[in-house]
Structure 1
């Protein structure tokens, strides 16, 4: 188990398509506007909104599907770099009768989840979640974020047993590595970091297992 590598969905995406400031027609721009309204005027929430919007644009602009683990790590690190305390969480998401292993980020116990809006299987799609709120309706999300009720799948088990350093080292990208999208997001929110700085700061971070 410890020697196993895993491949993220992004390995089929060309990096020239990964433009976090581009907006595809399919992008629901009202999600970002509504998230801004949810954020209100508190500085931490406004910074969280900037990160949410940037990661959401990256996922939809590049059609990066099934990227819950990677997008959660990117969100977690970017929030930390912007001074927003948050928790990187591994557990289970529930959409109606469907449940699946999932990663997300929590700020003050409230989920932030962009990847749920662009899953591998389009049948199991929900509106992105910002601070626990559905960004289409501005009501509490109907998605349930809970502890896993069964055995973790292979990717989630590897994540649960390791830290971000291990995850980053095993991240497979067609043209680049984990820091390619990571640094794109940081640049978009105005933060200058390099790979060595981020490795030093975050390699020992681990997912919090939802209980």
Structure 2
């Protein structure tokens, strides 16, 4: 029987819980598999309980990226065009790749209000076929305005920019630290700002292997 949900957040919380169970069954053949699992689960849980995170792929991918990097896990923060070939639509998006495999919790709750299966190690966490193709554009010219802007900003510049919209400068950093409780431990924000001021997104296009 399919459960009945009173709200989208209730659905997302249920989906997040079920997807994390499935995620733990996937052996990704990585020496830091547990760290990757914990980071992904923390990010997915944050997304599932935060209404404002809808369509926040640039932030959610940044959160996952920092949680991974702070554990010494090599990964890339990616921006590019994604095509849903089932619906025939294309949109600008951010995600993380570890050894070339796609990790995309943010796809679960997109700006258009749709709910999609989150992607872990290139696998949909609902046993469905992956309906998205990542990195389908030919150049950055095809990105939307927001994607072009985040591509050209460091991680620190991107996170600090929230102050322009009336939020405290530390707002997004603190959200990452809360999501990473139990993973990051005590972390000095000055150190993080300095470190991630030299970290940038990588553009993925259709010409890459």
Normalising TM by the smaller chain, what interval?
Answer: 0.7 to 0.9
- Whether contact under 8 Å (1:54, 1:188) holds in the other structure is no
- The answer as to 2:90 corresponding to 1:99 is yes
- Per the TM alignment, residue 79 of structure 1 is displaced from its structure 2 partner at its CA by 0.2
Contact in 1 for aligned 2:70/2:184 (Cα 8 Å): no
2:39 and 2:183 in contact (8 A); partners too: yes
TM-score (norm 1): 0.80
Q: CA 1:127–1:25 in structure 2 vs 1: closer, same or farther (change >3 Å)?
A: closer
How many corresponding residue pairs? 187
Tell me: CA distance 1:118–1:208, structure 2 relative to 1, closer, same or farther (3 Å). same
Match of 1:52 among 40, 44, 52: 40
* Superposed CA RMSD: 2.1
Partner of 1:209: 203
- The one of the two structures with greater contact order (alpha-carbon pairs below 8 A, sep at least 6) is 1
Distance 1:73 1:173, change over 3 A: farther
- TM-score calculated relative to the size of structure 2: 0.81
Tell whether the 8 Å contact from 1:147 to 1:209 is kept in structure 2 after alignment: no
**1:106-121 paired onto structure 2 within 5 Å:** 106-121=97-112
Q: For residue 122 of structure 1, what is the aligned residue in structure 2?
A: 113
What secondary structure, in the 3-state scheme, does the structure 2 residue paired with 1:209 have?
strand
CA–CA separation in structure 2 for the residues paired with 1:88 and 1:40: 19
From 177, 192, 196, the counterpart of 2:171: 177
Q: Which structure 1 residue ranges, 5 or more long, are not aligned?
A: 1-22
Q: Distance in 1 between matches of 2:68 and 2:100?
A: 14
2:125 pairs, out of 124, 128, 135, with 135
Structure 1 position 190, deviation (Å):
4.5
Alpha-carbon offset, residue 25 of structure 1:
5.4
Note if contact 1:94-1:143 (Cα within 8 Å) is conserved in structure 2.
Answer: yes
**Partner Cα separation in structure 2 for residue 191 and residue 39 of structure 1:** 26
Secondary structure of the equivalent of 1:93?
A: strand
TM-aligned CA deviation for residue 70 of structure 1: 0.4
